């Protein structure tokens, strides 16, 4: 037999259920069991949201909406990939390809990495408005002269390292001139006996050398 405390607890629970589902208290002819069953039936028929054939209770929708709002507040409403788009590439495969190409063409891998980061952010899918392709942004004509397929990441990086090696040889190991030539072409560097007075090239050289140091 229940004591007075248990009875009060049951009554309090009934009042909670009535309040939650809009069931008025003291409905004539409705005993405890009827009240509880009506509350259960109402809960079972609560609206659901259809997603790809799966039913998601509204409570779950609220949780999902809160999670989405939290993500959007961090990323400005964009996807996580957009949020990380400007981060430097930290990619084991890319590092391996750069190390291999640098060793093959006797160029400091840190310099190859700095050029790759400045050119494309290490992104093989990057294509410039001028048509430069891939990680180290090889123009189709340059790639053909170097004997590489610019759409193949390994060949693209090897082509870039080879060209960088050629520029270092052309300018007697002067890294600043070699980097400027990678961007503006060797003739422009010869014409000005150094970094050409092009804003793009000057910014490019500064960024590469800052990363290289």
Domain extents for the chain? 92-212
Q: Is the pTM for the entire model greater than 0.85? A: no
Neighbours of 110 (CB within 10 A): 13
CA distance 213 to 175: 11
Where does residue 121 rank: exposed (0-12), middle (13-18), buried (19+ CB within 10 A)? middle
CA distance 85 to 182: 25
Q: Which of 117, 119, 153, 158 is the catalytic position?
A: 119
CA distance 173 to 167: 8
Cα angle 14, 19, 25; round to 5: 65
Q: What is the pLDDT of residues 29-64, one digit of tens each?
A: 444 444 444 444 444 444 333 333 333 333 333 333
Q: Is the dihedral of CA 83, 98, 200, 123 positive or negative?
A: negative
Q: What is the pLDDT of residues 111-155, one digit of tens each?
A: 999 999 999 999 999 999 999 999 999 999 999 999 999 999 999
- Annotated active-site residue 117? The verdict is no
Which range, 46-50, 92-96, 204-208, is most confident? 204-208
Question: Three-state DSSP class for 188?
Answer: helix
- What is the CATH topology of the domain spanning 92-212? Lysozyme (1.10.530)
8 A C-beta contact, residue 204 and residue 186: no
Q: What pLDDT shows up at residue 17?
A: 54
Question: Three-state DSSP class for 94?
Answer: helix
Q: Is the dihedral of CA 99, 102, 107, 110 positive or negative?
A: negative
Q: What pLDDT shows up at residue 179?
A: 98
8 A C-beta contact, residue 151 and residue 176: no
8 A C-beta contact, residue 71 and residue 80: yes
**pLDDT above 90 as % of the chain:** 56
Q: Which two tokens stand for residue 6?
A: 């248990």
8 A C-beta contact, residue 180 and residue 195: yes
């Amino acid at each position: 037999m229940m004591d007075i405390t248990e009875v009060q607890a049951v009554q309090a629970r009934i009042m909670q259920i009535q309040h939650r589902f809009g069931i008025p208290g003291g409905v004539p002819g409705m005993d405890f069991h009827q009240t509880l069953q009506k509350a259960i039936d109402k809960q079972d028929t609560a609206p659901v949201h259809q997603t790809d054939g799966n039913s998601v209770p509204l409570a779950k929708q609220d949780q999902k909406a809160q999670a989405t709002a939290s993500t959007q507040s961090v990323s400005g409403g964009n996807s996580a990939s957009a949020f990380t788009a400007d981060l430097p590439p930290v990619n084991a495969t890319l590092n391996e390809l750069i190390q291999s190409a640098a060793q093959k063409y006797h160029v400091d891998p840190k310099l190859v990495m700095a050029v790759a980061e400045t050119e494309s952010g290490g992104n093989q899918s990057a294509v410039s408005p001028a048509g430069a392709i891939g990680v180290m942004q090889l123009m189709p004509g340059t790639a053909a002269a170097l004997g590489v397929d610019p759409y193949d990441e390994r060949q693209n990086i090897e082509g870039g390292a080879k060209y960088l090696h050629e520029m270092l040889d052309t300018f007697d190991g002067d890294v600043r001139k070699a980097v400027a030539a990678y961007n503006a072409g060797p003739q422009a560097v010869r014409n000005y006996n150094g970094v050409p007075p092009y804003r793009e090239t000057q910014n490019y050289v500064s960024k590469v050398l800052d990363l290289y140091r």
